[in-house]
Amino acid sequence: QVQLAESGGGPVQAGGSLRLSCAASGRTFSKYYTGWFRQAPGKEREFVAAISPAAISTWYEDSVKGRFTISRDNAKNTVYLQMNSLKPEDTAVYYCASRATYYSGAYYAKAYDFDYWGQGTQVTVSS
C-alpha cells in the first residue's frame, strides 16, 4: 500500500515554470512505476509523463515533450514534474499515480494501469 500527495501547483503566467512534487509513503516506492496525469474541466483525464522505478526510462505525452521533465529521488520517496514554458492549455488538476508491478521496458499510460492515486494539485496558467 502506498499513499501519494501532490504539491507545488498554483497560478502562473504563460511562459512561466512550476515544479510539482509527489511524495509517497511506503518503503517500496522505489519499485513503483509512477506517472503524472492531468484533467482539465470538462475533459477526460490524460497521461502527461511517466518514469520507471529506477528512473532509467521516461515517457511523455507529445504536447509536453521538450517542456516538461519527470524525475524521481527514491531516497526521498518523491517524484517530480518540472514544467517549463507553460501554456494556458496546460491548465488542469495534476495527479500523481503509481503501479506496484512493473516489467522491465514496459510502458503504461492508461489510468486503469495505475493502482494508487493522489488527490491532485491545481495548475492554472494565465495568458
Residues counted in the chain: 127
Q: Render pLDDT for 75-90 as a digit per residue (tens, 0 to 9).
A: 999 999 999 999 999 9
Q: Are strands 33-39 and 18-24 parallel, antiparallel or unpaired?
A: unpaired
Q: Render pLDDT for 30-44 as a digit per residue (tens, 0 to 9).
A: 999 999 999 999 999
| Structure-block grid coordinates of residue 65 | 515533450
> Cα 41 from chain centroid?
18
State the Cα angle at 109 between 77 and 87, rounded to 5°: 85
Q: Render pLDDT for 3-57 as a digit per residue (tens, 0 to 9).
A: 999 999 999 999 999 999 999 997 788 999 999 999 999 999 999 999 999 999 9
What is the helix (H) or strand (E) element at residue 45, kind and residue range? Answer: none
| Structure-block grid coordinates of residue 111 | 489510468
